[in-house]
């Protein structure tokens, strides 16, 4: 069994951005991401600080807009402001958001050129029509991992657990765009294990600690664990790593799998946003 480590994948993505960023800085352009934050809880602050550290290491600016958003309108206003601010090249809305904010209703407000999370209708339509441009970073991180480790997707049977707008749904289209045969499971799916057992590639993004057990996986399959769950103060994935590790051929560990690649994809998308801005 091979661990699909995220670090080498992330490092390769970061390295590719270096010369592009150098050129931008030489031309007087500092790539800048605005992170809209509503929560000051410890995991949110830690996540923001880790992004900021990484982005600044590569010469980019990471700026927090910390706001107590009361409702959907407040978020729309912030996104409008960011869309109009020429010094901002990309925007990230940090989750979780308060329950009173419906993120889906705000998606059309942000300029698609700054939508480095790939969630505006324009970028979703691109994904839908197999002309991917900005795609949701975690979904793209899954594809980057598989490509880096040479995992064939064409004609493979893929099962995705979870249908969130930022992971499960976009990933479904991304696999279809790569000619895989895809099945999506969710909380109303019956007899999930009979479906997951057929998967050549199983991606789990349900947010339930150690949900995927040994009897749910196919021998020799590839497992991508997107889940980041806290259990007894420890970060654990959706997959019971210890139970499945001797059955599957490849698996992403948690931590150290998908997470670092997601941050690298975010930086890659920021660089792409600046390039588009320059060539406009």
Ligand X SMILES: NC(=O)c1ccc[n+]([C@@H]2O[C@H](COP(=O)([O-])OP(=O)(O)OC[C@H]3O[C@@H](n4cnc5c(N)ncnc54)[C@H](OP(=O)(O)O)[C@@H]3O)[C@@H](O)[C@H]2O)c1
* Mask for 14-43, x = binds ligand X (CB under 6 A): ------------------------------
Q: Output the smallest distance, CB 237 to ligand X, in A.
A: 8
**CB-wise, 24 or 239, nearer to ligand X?**
239
Residue 164 is a binding residue for ligand X (CB under 6 A): yes
Work out which of 90, 112, 162, 170 binds ligand X, going by CB under 6 A. Answer: 162
Q: Output the smallest distance, CB 18 to ligand X, in A.
A: 22
In order of 32, 92, 215, 267, the CA distances from 263 in angstroms are 15, 11, 32, 6
Q: Output the smallest distance, CB 27 to ligand X, in A.
A: 31
Residue ranges in 212-241 that form contacts with ligand X under rule CB under 6 A: 226-229
Q: What's the token pair of residue 174?
A: 């991304």
Work out which of 163, 210, 218, 268 binds ligand X, going by CB under 6 A. Answer: 163
Residue 244 is a binding residue for ligand X (CB under 6 A): no
Residue ranges in 122-161 that form contacts with ligand X under rule CB under 6 A: 138, 161
Q: Output the smallest distance, CB 216 to ligand X, in A.
A: 11
**CB-wise, 11 or 23, nearer to ligand X?**
11
Q: How many CA atoms lie within 13 A of 258 on its CB side?
A: 24
Which residues on adjacent β-strands are paired with residue 203? 160, 224
Q: Output the smallest distance, CB 186 to ligand X, in A.
A: 4
Residue ranges in 90-119 that form contacts with ligand X under rule CB under 6 A: none
Residue 259 is a binding residue for ligand X (CB under 6 A): yes
Which residues on adjacent β-strands are paired with residue 235? 230
How many residues lie near ligand X (CB under 6 A)?
24
Residue 188 is a binding residue for ligand X (CB under 6 A): yes
Work out which of 113, 252, 262, 269 binds ligand X, going by CB under 6 A. Answer: 262
Candidate ranges 53-61, 63-71, 204-212, 244-252; the one touching ligand X (CB under 6 A)? 204-212
Secondary structure string (H, E, C) spanning the chain: CEECCHHHHHHHHHHHHHHHHHHHHHCCCCCEEEEEECCCCHHHHHHHHHHHHHHHHCCCEEEEEECCCCCHHHHHHHHHHHHHCCCCCEEEECCCCCCCCCHHHHCCCCCHHHCCCCCCHHHHHHHHCCCCCCCCHHHHHHHHHHHHCCCCCCCCEEEEECCCCCCHHHHHHHHHHCCCEEEEECCCCCCHHHHHCCCCEEEECCCCCCCECHHHCCCCCEEEECCCEEECCEEECCECHHHHCCCCCEECCCCCCHHHHHHHHHHHHHHHHHHHHHHC
Residue 169 is a binding residue for ligand X (CB under 6 A): no
Residue 208 is a binding residue for ligand X (CB under 6 A): yes
Phi and psi, residue 185, nearest 5° = -115, 155
Residue 172 is a binding residue for ligand X (CB under 6 A): no
**Is it true that the peptide bond before 255 is cis, omega within 30 degrees of 0?**
yes
Candidate ranges 56-64, 124-132, 163-171, 215-223; the one touching ligand X (CB under 6 A)? 163-171
Question: Which stretches of the chain bind ligand X, using CB under 6 A?
Answer: 138, 161-164, 166-168, 185-189, 205-208, 226-229, 258-259, 262
């Amino acid at each position: 069994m091979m661990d699909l480590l995220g670090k080498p994948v992330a490092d390769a993505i970061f390295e590719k951005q270096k010369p592009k960023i150098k050129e931008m800085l030489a031309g007087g352009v500092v790539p800048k991401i605005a992170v809209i934050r509503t929560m000051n809880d410890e995991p949110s602050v830690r996540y923001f600080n880790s992004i900021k550290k990484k982005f600044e290491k590569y010469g980019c600016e990471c700026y927090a807009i910390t706001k107590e958003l009361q409702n959907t309108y407040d978020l729309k206003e912030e996104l409008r402001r960011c869309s109009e601010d020429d010094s901002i090249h990309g925007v990230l809305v940090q989750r979780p958001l308060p329950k009173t904010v419906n993120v889906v209703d705000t998606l059309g407000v942000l300029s698609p050129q700054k939508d480095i999370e790939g969630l505006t209708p324009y970028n979703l339509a691109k994904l839908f029509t197999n002309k991917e441009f900005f795609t949701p970073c975690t979904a793209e991180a899954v594809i980057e991992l598989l490509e880096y480790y040479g995992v064939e997707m064409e004609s493979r049977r893929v099962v995705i657990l979870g249908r969130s707008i930022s992971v499960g749904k976009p990933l479904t289209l991304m696999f279809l765009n790569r000619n895989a045969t895809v099945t999506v499971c969710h909380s109303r799916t019956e007899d999930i294990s009979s479906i997951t057992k057929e998967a050549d590639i199983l991606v789990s993004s349900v947010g339930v600690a150690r949900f995927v057990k040994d009897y749910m996986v196919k021998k020799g399959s590839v497992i991508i664990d997107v889940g980041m769950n806290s259990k007894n103060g420890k970060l654990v994935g959706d997959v019971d790593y210890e139970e499945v590790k001797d059955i599957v051929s490849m698996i992403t560990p948690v931590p150290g799998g998908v997470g670092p690649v997601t941050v690298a994809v975010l930086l890659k998308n920021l660089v792409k946003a600046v390039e588009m801005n320059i060539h406009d």
